[in-house]
Amino acid sequence: MNQRMNKIGIIIETENGSVKETNFGMITLANRGNAQLYALMGENAASAGASLAEYGITTVVDLGLPEEATVRLNPDVRAKAVVAAVNELGLDGVFGLSSAEGKDLIPRVAAYLDAPLVMDCLDVDPENKTGRTSQYSGKVVADIQLTGDIAVFGIRPNAVKAEAAQAEATMVSLAAGADTSSALSLVSWDESSADDSQVSLAEADIIVAGGRGMKNGDNFSLLFDCADKMKAAVGASRVAVDEGWVPYAHQVGQTGEKVSPSVYIACGISGSIQHFAGMKTAKMIIAVNTDENAAMVANSDYYVLGDLFEILPEIIKQI
């Protein structure tokens, strides 16, 4: 029979020295089984313990990565450090966020461990080692069951709400003898975006998105202003990206980012299958559209039939 997971290592993402909010929902998810929870930390292990214990982490593991940023941030080096921790601590489950970073890290870990993996899970049943994920451009939800000694799951940020579950956490350091060699060298990267106030799409709790209805790139400043006020991220349809109004990184959809925010506000987006593929799992959809027959309106929770150029400035004014 398929054995459940007993010791789950959770790869924690930090930002500016503290644990990103989106980790807590992932810990809550892992805590649904009866496994012991280990937080695997590439940095800030010492300071993060208290906040992690609040959600059920019992061991905080310092992966012992070197200070040097080009080494520490190299996803291949990080993956090897996670694999070393899995082996040393005898972990039989690994969770990580299916964020942009996670998509470059978790599959590396699974490949080195030669262990099965489900990415971008909306839900996980840790007792049955089954992950629920989207397939076929978001048209289907699949339950995928893993077998083998170690199971790996990538969790879509914001898929699960965090619930406090106070525990006591102890620290473990795995500094000694970490293998930091890699055939891949990280030579440069952008610092967490020039504009620090910008929220990442995958992790945002609110997304305000624009499509062809925005008419040009300058008008996107309306969305950026609105996002600024609500601490939201700005999304876009492929049309808006293809027209060059915003960079590709803002694209939501089958060939863009897949997101599960609490609220998705779609302005001047018709709601094509391919766009829905990326935001269908939003908890609430608010559509702003001039066309009452738009698919986005029919698949919303709330809709405004009106001109986004009249509504958005009012929202900005009122927040």
Partner 1 sequence: MQIYVCVKHVPDSAANIHILGKDQIDENVAFLLNPYDEHAVSEAASLKKANAGSEIIAVTVGKADADKTLRSAMAMGADRGLLVETDAACDSMTTARALVAAIKRDGTPDIILTGKESIDAEGMQTLFRVGAMMDMPVVTNAAGLTVDGANATVVCELSGGNTRTFETNLPCVIGAGRGLNTPAYPTFPDVVKARKKPVETISLDSLGIDAPKGSAKIVGLAPLVQNRTPKEITGTPAEQAAQIVNILKNEAKVIS
The single residue among 119, 124, 240, 252 that binds partner 1, judged by CB under 8 A, is: 119
The conformation of residue 91, written as its DSSP 8-state character, comes to -
Give the H/E segment covering residue 111.
Answer: helix 106-113
The single residue among 20, 78, 80, 108 that binds partner 1, judged by CB under 8 A, is: 108
Smallest distance, partner 1 to C-beta of residue 209, A: 14
Smallest distance, partner 1 to C-beta of residue 25, A: 15
Rounded Cα–Cα distance for residues 232 and 53 (Å):
28
Q: Nearer to partner 1 by C-beta: 173 or 192?
A: 192
Nearest to 93 by CA among 111, 76, 108, 110: 110
190 near partner 1, rule: CB under 8 A: yes
User: What is the maximal distance between C-alpha atoms in the chain?
Assistant: 63
> Which listed range, 25-33, 60-68, 85-93, 180-188, lies at the site for partner 1 (CB under 8 A)?
180-188
Q: Nearer to partner 1 by C-beta: 31 or 134?
A: 134
Rounded Cα–Cα distance for residues 125 and 30 (Å):
8
Smallest distance, partner 1 to C-beta of residue 208, A: 11
201 near partner 1, rule: CB under 8 A: yes
Q: Which does 193 bind (CB under 5 to 8 A by kind): partner 1, ligand FAD, none?
A: partner 1
224 near partner 1, rule: CB under 8 A: no
Q: Nearer to partner 1 by C-beta: 39 or 206?
A: 206
Binding site for ligand FAD (CB under 6 A): 211-213, 237-240, 251, 253-256, 268-270, 272, 274-275, 278, 288-291, 294, 307-309
The strand pairing partners of 206, in sequence order, are 263
3 near partner 1, rule: CB under 8 A: no
Angle at 210 between CA 205 and CA 215, to 5 degrees: 165
Both tokens assigned to 124: 């996980």
Both tokens assigned to 174: 């795995």
Q: Which does 298 bind (CB under 5 to 8 A by kind): ligand FAD, partner 1, none?
A: partner 1
User: What is the chain's alpha carbon radius of gyration, rounded to the nearest angstrom?
Assistant: 21
The strand pairing partners of 152, in sequence order, are 94, 117
Both tokens assigned to 229: 């006020």
The residues in 271-310 that bind partner 1, with binding defined as CB under 8 A, are 273-274, 277, 280-281, 283-287, 297-307, 310
Between 139 and 168, how does the x/- string for binding to partner 1 read (CB under 8 A)?
xxxxxxxxxxxxx--x--------------
Report yes or no: 142 and 135 within 8 Å, Cβ to Cβ. Answer: yes
State the sign of the Cα–Cα–Cα–Cα dihedral 260, 262, 265, 270: positive
Strands, DSSP E only, in 42-116?
Answer: 59-62, 93-97
Smallest distance, partner 1 to C-beta of residue 122, A: 9
Smallest distance, ligand FAD to C-beta of residue 103, A: 16
The residues in 24-53 that bind partner 1, with binding defined as CB under 8 A, are none
For tokens 């620290």, name the residue: 171
3-state secondary structure of 241: helix
Rounded Cα–Cα distance for residues 34 and 32 (Å):
7
The residues in 49-88 that bind partner 1, with binding defined as CB under 8 A, are 76
Q: Nearer to ligand FAD by C-beta: 102 or 211?
A: 211
